[in-house]
Amino acid sequence: MKCDYACGSEDHLIARRQFLGGVATGAGAVLGGLGAFATPEAVAKMTKDQKRVIVVRMAGGLSQLESWDPKPGTDTGGPFRSIPTSVPGIRISELLPHTAKVMHHLALARGINTRNGDHGKGTYMMLTGRHRTPGQTHPELGAVVARGLDNDSLTLPGHIKVTSGGSGGRNNDAAYLGPKYASISLGGGKPPAYTERPKDVTEAAAKNQNQFRKQANDRFAQRRRTAETDAYVQSFEQAQELMRQRDVFDLSKESDKDRERYGKTQFGEHCLLARRLVEKGITYVQVTHSNYDTHNENFSFHFEQLGEFDAPFATLVADLAARGLLEHTLIVVLSEFGRTPRINKYYGRDHWGNAWSVCMGGAGIARGAVHGATNKNGTAVSDGQVDAGHLFHTYLRALGLNPRRNFKIGGQKIPLADPAFEPIKELLA
């Protein structure tokens, strides 16, 4: 849909890098280990039930009042009612009737106050768990999780972003963890670009080329090996693995029945692809639904946007539960901020980071839990105030990772998560 109601921020127009672009950035980090970040219990179970993460990013700023924390009948509530869910006492917006039926698998954080109304800063905070500071870049959740849950049996990339356009781009979102854990974009839900052998190159010729390349690399490494050359070799080998297992990313392999259940919208297809990817062993998948930057006609656009989101998301949650995957898969639905309780003169809601909500579930999250609350008309947090850092700690704890441990990068200790925060215990099982 055309999103001419948005604020026009440049953060909505970010270009994707090519597959090997930026591969040298932070290359030294690939030599470090992170096995110590997992608790002993998580280490013991990783070989049996590898943890997974699916993040649904509601880009632009989902309105909490039209989703997780409705305030009907108030001066800020808008035209929509609240409805009961499968958890007694929890009510959400009537725009989410299908999600309401799977609420017993989910939990809500309703007391978020990030004190931020900027798209770029808000996205950075919600995906890194830290406030942006000059001269320092931190890895996003996907990179941290892919690194923290990495093991020798995982041959495919552990950090995937399903996007609307482009394909195969390697993003620069792993910071000091190195390019191995940077995300790869699947534009339009298609397999990564350049993962098919050219028709004019035979399998035998490709094998000979790769053998020659390996011999040349090995000879070069005997005298001139660096972290940067290791990063290039690592990326090339991962590209080969993508070619070998290309079917993992091919949504056409799913049944017509499943594709019908998820719907014919792009978001529905992306949710089905997310399910497929975690089933096939991908550690972290991020799906984006856009655009919720509703400065104009907030109610009309949320009616349409959440109508598109609701059924596919609920189907994803129900499928993961039915297939025994939800126990090991963390699901998070987040935005960069919420929307203002005050309705502006264009029937829109503006940027608001002072009192809003995030939905999560699966893995180590307490089912049907609610933490935090806002006042009667949603203008302030009245109980259980938390920041992005608390959420980041909570996600890691739910996966069995210890956010109090440190990365060891070039001999320097860097906290896995911002030490100023701690997990939200009430949301952990």
What's the confidence (pLDDT) of residue 163?
A: 87
pTM, whole model, 2 decimals? 0.84
Q: How many domains does the chain have?
A: 1
Q: Is residue 19 part of a domain?
A: no
156 belongs to a structural domain: yes
Q: Does 324 fall in a domain? A: yes
Average pLDDT on 21-43 reads 40
Q: What are phi and psi of 288, to 5 degrees?
A: -110, 135
Cβ-contact 426, 371 below 8 angstroms: yes
Q: What is the pLDDT of residue 318?
A: 98
Tokens in use for 270? 């992306």
**Nearest to 327, CA basis, from 361, 360, 363, 359:** 363
CA dist 27 and 175 (Å) reads 9
Q: Please give the share of the chain, as a percent, with pLDDT higher than 70.
A: 81
Percent of the chain with pLDDT over 90: 62
Tokens of 60: 């632009």
Terminal C-alpha separation, the chain: 39
Q: Any idea which of 13-27, 273-287, 320-334 has the lowest mean pLDDT?
A: 13-27
Packed helices 298-322 and 266-279: angle between N→C axes, nearest 10 degrees:
30
Which residue in this structure is represented by tokens 């320097």? 412
User: In the 3-class helix/strand/coil scheme, how is the chain assigned residue by residue?
Assistant: CCCCCCCCCHHHHCCCCCCCCCCCCCHHHHHCCCHHHECHHHHHHHCCCCCEEEEEEEECCCCHHHCCCCCCCCCCCCCCCEEECCCCCCEEECCCHHHHHCHHHEEEEEEECCCCCCHHHHHHHHHHCCCCECCECCCCHHHHHHHHCCCCCCCCCCEEEEECCCCCCECCCCHHHCHHHCCEEEECCCCCCCCCCCCCCCHHHHHHHHHHHHHHHHHHHHHHCCHHHHHHHHHHHHHHHHHHCHHHHCHHHCCHHHHHHHCCCHHHHHHHHHHHHHHCCCCEEEEEEECCCCCCCHHHHHHHHHHHHHHHHHHHHHHHHHCCCHHHEEEEEECCCEECCCCCCCCCCCEECCCEEEEEECCCECCCCEECEECCCCCCEEECCECHHHHHHHHHHHCCECCCCEEEECCEEEECCCCCCCCCHHHEC
Q: What is the pLDDT of residues 214-269, one digit of tens each?
A: 777 777 777 777 766 766 666 666 666 666 667 788 888 999 999 999 998 999 99
In 3D, which of 392, 327, 333 has the Cα closest to residue 362? Answer: 327
Is residue 47 over pLDDT 50?
A: no
Residue 317, in any domain of the structure: yes
Q: What's the CATH number where 383 sits? A: 3.40.720.10
For the cut 60, the answer to whether the pLDDT of residue 338 exceeds it is yes
Task: Name the burial class of residue 286, with classes exposed (0-12), middle (13-18) and buried (19+) by CB atoms within 10 angstroms of its CB.
Answer: buried
Containing structural domain, residue 396: 35-427
pLDDT, one tens digit per residue, over 133-183 is 888 899 999 999 999 998 766 677 889 999 887 656 678 899 999 888 999
Whether a cis peptide bond, with omega within 30° of 0, leads into 291 is yes
Task: Tell me the sheet residues that pair with 375.
Answer: none
Residues 314, 60, 297: CA angle, nearest 5 degrees: 90
- Is 212 or 118 the better-scoring residue by pLDDT? 118
Residue 207 has a pLDDT of 72
The confidence score (pLDDT) of residue 243 equals: 66
Q: CA–CA separation, 157 vs 146, rounded Å?
A: 8
User: Where is average pLDDT lowest: 83-97, 217-231, 326-340?
Assistant: 217-231
From the list 337, 334, 420, 406, the residue with the least C-alpha distance to 144 is 406
> pLDDT for 406-429, tens place per residue?
888 888 898 899 999 999 999 999
Structure tokens at 299: 């109610």
Is 310 inside any structural domain?
A: yes
Give a yes or no: residue 13 inside a domain.
Answer: no
For residue range 92-130, list pLDDT tens digits in order.
Answer: 999 999 999 999 999 999 999 999 999 999 999 999 999
Domain for residue 406, yes or no?
A: yes
Reported confidence tier of residue 195, pLDDT bands at 50, 70, 90? low
**pLDDT at residue 282 greater than cutoff 70:** yes
In a domain, 405, yes or no: yes
- Whether the per-residue pLDDT at 2 is higher than 70: the answer is no
- Position 216 scores a pLDDT of 79
Per-residue pLDDT tens over the stretch 8-22:
554 544 433 333 333
Q: Are 312 and 260 in contact (CB under 8 A)?
A: no
